[in-house]
Amino acid sequence: MTANKDQIQGRVKEVQGKIKEAAGKLVGNKKLLAKGKALKTRGKAQATFGDVKQKLKVMKKKAAKKTAKKKAAKKK
């Protein structure tokens, strides 16, 4: 299974958010902490969207194979 761009970009944003959040905690910068949390949340949402897209793609392929098998069975 390959990852789509939303999965990859989402996970990258999630990591970037975690880093900003940790840096904000470390230096006591509430604004940086909040930006990090927001970026992490957006990343999670995008990654989840990518996961759903990937699952739908797999389900679509399975359904197409199943339909093709039924059509082939009818021809026999």
Structure tokens given for 20: 């900003």
pLDDT of the residue at 53: 96
* Residue labelled with tokens 């759903």: 52
Supply angle C-alpha 59, 64, 70, rounded to 5.
125
- Write out pLDDT tens, residues 11-50: 999 999 999 999 999 999 999 999 999 999 999 999 999 9
pLDDT of the residue at 1: 65
pLDDT of the residue at 76: 64
